[in-house]
């Protein structure tokens, strides 16, 4: 085993970096989400990564609903009569009770029992007054009682006019005291300091609020509740409950109802009843009398149908007891085998089920496509010993030219078979020219490509921003749009989706590939028919892969840019490993002095490398515009070019690894939203994972030490980028 690990582990360094990054984020979840609780933190981590996998690949494993999963609901129905119409209210009340908690409900119940004569609104107001008592001071309010009683005979305006002059005073004169005592005789018993302080309180709080709060003090004392006591604080907490005292009383009654049924987990009860309500809404069960439904319908329903419990109190329901099947979108015939919009594919696994949501995978493939092509742009420059940080600007340069060709009326006369390739070619040309600029500066002036490509990024972004936003002169702005953007691309300039491609096209493509492969091996086939195996396998991959992509992309989001991406990866690898120009680029990247001595032009290859890299980035921009958005907005790509650097590093700058690296990057971004919803953790966790992956790839000695990966033998290592001296 150690010898096997020494042989295979060097090529696994990127994968080990990803695993290490994901393991190291678990402590973040334990500390932040779990509050330091190790078990709860691990549960959150498991939920987060399961959601990440489901959100990106569409794969999930969930438990099937069995009678054991509805024990609390069954217990409640056994002790009190229930009707279908009452279930919604029970779910709401049980959820609210679970949110409030047993301890808080018990505290509220103990204190609310003293105020049975108050309605919900009055009780909520009393709780709010307790908060005000704490702010003003119970002793102050009690001492002010005689003064408030005297002033209650005046109007609110008269009281305000009386007390306002004293809000900023530091002392009282004899005339001031005489004025106050004339309307409030009880003031004579107060010292100047106390009277001035009470007048300040009146000016600050207002007579109406003080009378209300003072009445609350009297009400509390009448029930032997001291302001500031735990009982008073519990009363104040009522105001923090959504719905106030009414919601608190409902929660107290709900806990009493559940106690009578021997139920101590209102959250679980709410989930169980929510599942039953969905069975009603789907028409799986019909008896309105819940007790009869449990006896007559529920056992056979659970036994004869696939019912899977999903997060968020949702269900996946499919009639029949087949070991595997497809659930079609709502509105489709559940028994149809011809519908092309599957919602979920399932395989039974005992008391669980493996689920596959094609829409999630489709979204991830669309998201990953531009990362892969832009990653090639960075990797190709790496092979020439150049650090291309300009993929972002090259994306914009290619995208803006592609979008202009796509919507400009000048090209409306062209059929789609010409215009669409012209759009893609425009993206390549735009990126090519933008990438050639830093290449020329590097070749003829020695300007470092890191600096020039960074600067050209911002030039391209701001140039595109001006071209789109400029109203005078109107250049690329769509004047009818509510936000700054270009006009939409002509239909002929848009990439077709897999859902729009006839099935026979995939068979035709497979047959053509088979014929080409057999023709290329015609001489060898005369000696041994086994040489036909590879062409047959390749043709089968094209047919099956095309049909699968068409099925996954049934919602019309997955476009043929995915195939263009695969071809681009193959062409880039072929160019670098099978052509003279590719050999020269790699030689210049490895040792420019040796390349120059061998007669290779270092300046020409420098320009060519960055120009070709720019063309690849421009192609990524053109595909994203013609396949996804169909227009262009300022700052459209939002860091895609910078993420391409990370994808290239993860692939170790090897074009053959770029698809896996790009799919991983797209998976992290596609699954982040569902992870945040399911695990209730920040979406920034994905950024932490990405940062750790980049760190471990750049400093792979850490991974080699942690996983005991031996030195040497890693053929995917990157060329060393030359320093500032060129």
19: three-class secondary structure by DSSP = helix
CB neighbourhood size of 319 (10 A):
15
- Which token pair is 555? 């919602």
Residue 196 pLDDT > 80: yes
- The rounded mean pLDDT for the chain is 88
What does the pLDDT look like over 388-416, one tens digit per residue?
A: 999 999 999 999 999 999 999 999 999 98
Query: Roughly what angle, to the nearest 10 degrees, separates helices 87-100 and 266-281?
Result: 150
CA 398, CA 623: separation in Å to the nearest integer?
10
pLDDT of residue 335: 45
- At residue 108 the predicted structure's pLDDT band, cuts being 50, 70 and 90, is confident
DSSP 329-354: PTTS-TT-SS-S-EEEEEEEETTEEE
DSSP 92-138: HHHHHHHHH-HHHHHHHHHHHGGGTTS-HHHHHHHHHHHHHHHHH-H
pLDDT of residue 725: 41
579: three-class secondary structure by DSSP = coil
CA 623, CA 423: separation in Å to the nearest integer?
9
- Which token pair is 433? 């020219």
3-state SS of 649-695 is HHCCCCHHHHHHHHHHHHHHHHHHHHHHHHHCCCCHHHHHHHHHHHH
CA 301, CA 22: separation in Å to the nearest integer?
41
Residue 609 pLDDT > 70: yes
| Mean pLDDT value across residues 459-483 | 93
Residue 534 backbone phi and psi in degrees, to 5: -65, -45
pLDDT of residue 340: 59
Residue 338 pLDDT > 60: no
Q: Are strands 305-310 and 314-319 parallel, antiparallel or unpaired?
A: antiparallel
Buried-state track 80-103, b at ≥16 Cβ within 10 A, e below 16? eebebeebeebbebbbbbbebeee
- Cα separations in angstroms, 6 against 445, 697, 704, 708: 46, 19, 11, 9
Residue 555 backbone phi and psi in degrees, to 5: -80, 0
CB neighbourhood size of 668 (10 A):
25
CA 151, CA 45: separation in Å to the nearest integer?
62
Residue 172 backbone phi and psi in degrees, to 5: -115, 140
Query: With contact defined as beta carbons under 8 Å apart, do 712 and 10 qualify?
Result: yes
pLDDT of residue 712: 60
What does the pLDDT look like over 551-570, one tens digit per residue?
A: 999 888 999 999 999 999 99
pLDDT of residue 330: 61
What does the pLDDT look like over 9-37, one tens digit per residue?
A: 888 888 889 899 999 999 988 888 887 88
Query: With contact defined as beta carbons under 8 Å apart, do 228 and 141 qualify?
Result: no
What does the pLDDT look like over 360-390, one tens digit per residue?
A: 999 999 999 999 999 999 999 999 999 999 9
What does the pLDDT look like over 208-226, one tens digit per residue?
A: 888 888 888 888 878 888 8
Please tell me the least confidently modeled range out of 248-252, 408-412, 587-591: 248-252
Q: Where are the alpha helices (DSSP H) in 185-333?
A: 192-205, 207-222, 230-237, 244-260, 266-281, 290-296, 298-304
Instruction: Give yes or no for a cis peptide into 623 (omega within 30° of 0).
Output: no
For residue 414, give the H/E element and its range: none
What does the pLDDT look like over 46-73, one tens digit per residue?
A: 999 999 999 999 999 999 998 888 999 9
CB neighbourhood size of 213 (10 A):
24
From the centroid of its chain, how far is CA 649?
Answer: 24
Query: Roughly what angle, to the nearest 10 degrees, separates helices 156-163 and 174-183?
Result: 170
Domain boundaries, the chain: 72-260, 498-552
485: three-class secondary structure by DSSP = coil
CA 631, CA 378: separation in Å to the nearest integer?
25
| Closest residue by Cα to residue 302 from 29, 73, 40, 484 | 73
| Closest residue by Cα to residue 366 from 560, 614, 647, 646 | 560
pTM: 0.82
- Cα separations in angstroms, 297 against 80, 81, 270, 276, 286: 19, 17, 21, 12, 8
What does the pLDDT look like over 141-192, one tens digit per residue?
A: 888 888 888 888 888 888 888 888 877 777 888 887 888 888 888 888 888 8
| Edge-to-edge strand list for the sheet holding 342-349 | 59-63, 352-356, 342-349, 324-328
């Amino acid at each position: 085993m150690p010898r096997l690990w020494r042989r295979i582990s060097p090529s696994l360094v990127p994968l080990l970096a990803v695993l290490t990054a994901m393991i190291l984020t678990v402590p973040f979840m334990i500390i932040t989400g779990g509050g330091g609780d190790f078990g709860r933190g691990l549960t959150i981590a498991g939920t987060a990564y399961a959601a990440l996998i489901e959100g990106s690949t569409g794969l999930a494993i969930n438990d099937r609903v069995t009678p054991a999963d509805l024990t609390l609901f069954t217990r409640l129905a056994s002790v009190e009569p229930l009707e279908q119409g009452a279930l919604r209210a029970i779910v709401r009340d049980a959820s609210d009770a679970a949110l409030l908690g047993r301890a808080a409900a018990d505290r509220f119940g103990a204190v609310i029992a003293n105020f049975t004569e108050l309605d919900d609104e009055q009780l909520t107001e009393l709780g709010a007054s307790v908060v005000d008592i704490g702010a003003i001071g119970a002793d102050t309010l009690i001492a002010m009682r005689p003064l408030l009683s005297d002033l209650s005979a005046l109007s609110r305006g008269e009281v305000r006019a009386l007390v306002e002059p004293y809000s900023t005073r530091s002392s009282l004169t004899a005339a001031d005291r005489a004025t106050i005592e004339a309307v409030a005789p009880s003031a004579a018993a107060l010292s100047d300091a106390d009277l001035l302080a009470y007048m300040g309180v009146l000016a600050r709080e207002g007579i109406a609020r003080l009378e209300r709060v003072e009445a609350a003090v009297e009400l509390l004392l009448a029930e032997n509740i001291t302001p500031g006591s735990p009982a008073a604080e519990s009363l104040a907490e009522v105001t923090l409950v959504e719905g106030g005292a009414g919601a608190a009383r409902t929660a107290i009654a709900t806990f009493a109802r559940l106690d009578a049924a021997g139920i101590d987990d209102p959250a679980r009860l709410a989930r169980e009843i929510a599942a039953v309500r969905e069975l009603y809404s789907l028409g799986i069960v019909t008896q309105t009398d819940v007790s009869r439904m449990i006896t007559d319908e529920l056992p056979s329903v659970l036994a004869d149908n696939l019912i899977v419990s999903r997060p968020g109190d949702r269900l996946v329901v499919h009639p029949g007891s087949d070991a595997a099947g497809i659930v079609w979108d709502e509105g489709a015939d559940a028994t149809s085998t011809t519908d092309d919009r599957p919602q979920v594919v399932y395989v039974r696994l005992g008391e669980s089920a493996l689920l596959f949501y094609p829409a999630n995978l489709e979204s991830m493939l669309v998201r990953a496509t531009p990362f892969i092509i832009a990653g090639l742009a960075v990797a190709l420059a790496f092979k020439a010993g150049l650090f291309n940080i300009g993929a972002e600007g090259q994306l914009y340069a290619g995208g803006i030219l592609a979008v202009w060709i796509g919507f400009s009326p000048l090209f409306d006369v062209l059929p789609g078979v010409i215009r669409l390739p012209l759009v893609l070619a425009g993206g390549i040309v735009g990126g090519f020219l933008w990438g050639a600029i830093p290449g020329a500066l590097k070749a003829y002036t020695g300007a470092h490509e890191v600096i020039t490509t960074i600067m050209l990024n911002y030039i391209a972004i701001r140039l595109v921003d001006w071209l789109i936003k400029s109203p005078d002169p109107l250049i690329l702005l769509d004047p009818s749009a509510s936000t700054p953007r270009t006009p939409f691309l002509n239909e002929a300039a848009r990439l077709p989706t897999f859902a729009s491609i006839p099935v026979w096209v995939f068979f035709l493509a497979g047959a053509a590939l088979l014929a080409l492969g057999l023709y290329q091996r015609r001489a060898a086939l005369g000696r041994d028919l086994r040489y036909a195996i590879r062409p047959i396998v390749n043709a089968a991959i094209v047919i099956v892969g095309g049909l699968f992509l068409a099925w996954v992309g049934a919602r019309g989001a997955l476009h043929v840019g995915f195939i263009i991406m695969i071809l681009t990866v193959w062409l880039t690898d072929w160019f670098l490993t099978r052509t003279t120009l590719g050999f020269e680029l790699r030689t210049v990247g490895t040792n420019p002095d040796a390349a120059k001595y061998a007669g290779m032009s270092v300046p020409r290859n420098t320009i060519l490398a960055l120009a070709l890299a720019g063309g690849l980035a421009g192609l990524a921009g053109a595909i994203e515009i013609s396949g996804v958005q169909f227009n262009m907005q300022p700052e459209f790509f939002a860091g895609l070019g910078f993420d391409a650097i990370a994808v290239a590093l993860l692939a170790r700058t090897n074009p053959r690894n770029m698809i896996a690296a790009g799919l991983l990057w797209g998976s992290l971004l596609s699954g982040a939203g569902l992870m945040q919803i399911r695990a209730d953790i920040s979406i920034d966790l994905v950024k932490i994972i990405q940062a750790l992956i980049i760190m471990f790839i750049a400093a792979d000695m850490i991974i080699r030490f942690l996983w005991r990966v031996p030195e040497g033998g890693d053929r995917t290592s990157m060329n060393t980028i030359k320093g500032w001296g060129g």
